[in-house]
């Protein structure tokens, strides 16, 4: 499976492939090819909705997935879908956890692949996020246990 989301300058695609060994991603201006070998072999060529800058597009591999950062050739243009073809694919879905309506937002939080890579490297299991001052083990006023 794969998930994707759109930003002002980039399109991000995450292929959920565990234990990938030999990852090959080739970027062209109107498509990209994704090939992974490991326990299973995956090969997919995706015709893109818009054009990208192949030299500025990158990918990174983790134990659980392969993330691709596609640099848009025309920054600031929204992509309503990832693929050129207007069709539903069983293996592709929108990553609503990262989706953002950025057209009205002038401040872009993901301005480069370096920031994306750093974010991915820092996503370890040791650090728990601050949940707006909430502490574990304390009852809140909104508890349904009463």
Give the contacts of 39 (CB within 8 A, at least 6 positions apart).
18, 19
Q: Residue 10 in contact with residue 115, Cβ under 8 Å?
A: no
If you average pLDDT over every residue of the chain, what do you get?
78
Give the contacts of 125 (CB within 8 A, at least 6 positions apart).
none
User: What is the predicted pLDDT for the residue at 44?
Assistant: 87
Smallest CA-to-CA distance from 49 within 26, 75, 83 is with 83
Smallest CA-to-CA distance from 32 within 71, 80, 77 is with 71
124-145 pLDDT, tens digit per residue, is 444 444 444 444 444 445 545 5
Vertex 49 angle, CA 67 and 44, to 5°: 50
User: What is the predicted pLDDT for the residue at 140?
Assistant: 46
Q: Where are the domains of the chain?
A: 1-74
User: What is the predicted pLDDT for the residue at 19?
Assistant: 78
pLDDT: is 77 or 122 the higher one?
77
Q: How far is CA 43 from CA 24, 25, 70, 104, in A?
A: 9, 10, 18, 36
From the options 2.60.40.790, 3.40.50.1000, 2.60.40.650, 3.40.228.10, give the CATH code of 1-74.
2.60.40.790
1-44 pLDDT, tens digit per residue, is 899 999 999 999 999 888 777 889 999 999 999 888 766 678 88
User: What is the predicted pLDDT for the residue at 121?
Assistant: 56
User: What is the predicted pLDDT for the residue at 58?
Assistant: 95
């Amino acid at each position: 499976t794969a998930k994707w989301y759109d930003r002002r300058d980039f399109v991000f695609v995450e292929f959920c492939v565990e234990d990938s060994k030999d990852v090959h991603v080739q970027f062209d201006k109107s498509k990209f090819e994704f090939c992974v070998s490991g326990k299973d072999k995956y090969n997919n060529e995706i015709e893109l909705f818009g054009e990208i800058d192949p030299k500025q597009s990158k990918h990174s591999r983790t134990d659980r997935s392969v993330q691709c950062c596609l640099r848009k050739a025309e920054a600031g243009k929204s992509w309503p879908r990832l693929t050129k073809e207007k069709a539903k694919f069983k293996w592709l879905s929108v990553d609503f956890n990262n989706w953002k309506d950025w057209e009205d937002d002038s401040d872009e939080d993901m301005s480069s692949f370096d920031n994306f890579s750093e974010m991915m490297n820092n996503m370890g299991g040791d650090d728990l996020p601050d949940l707006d001052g909430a502490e574990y083990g304390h009852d809140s006023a909104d508890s349904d246990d009463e």
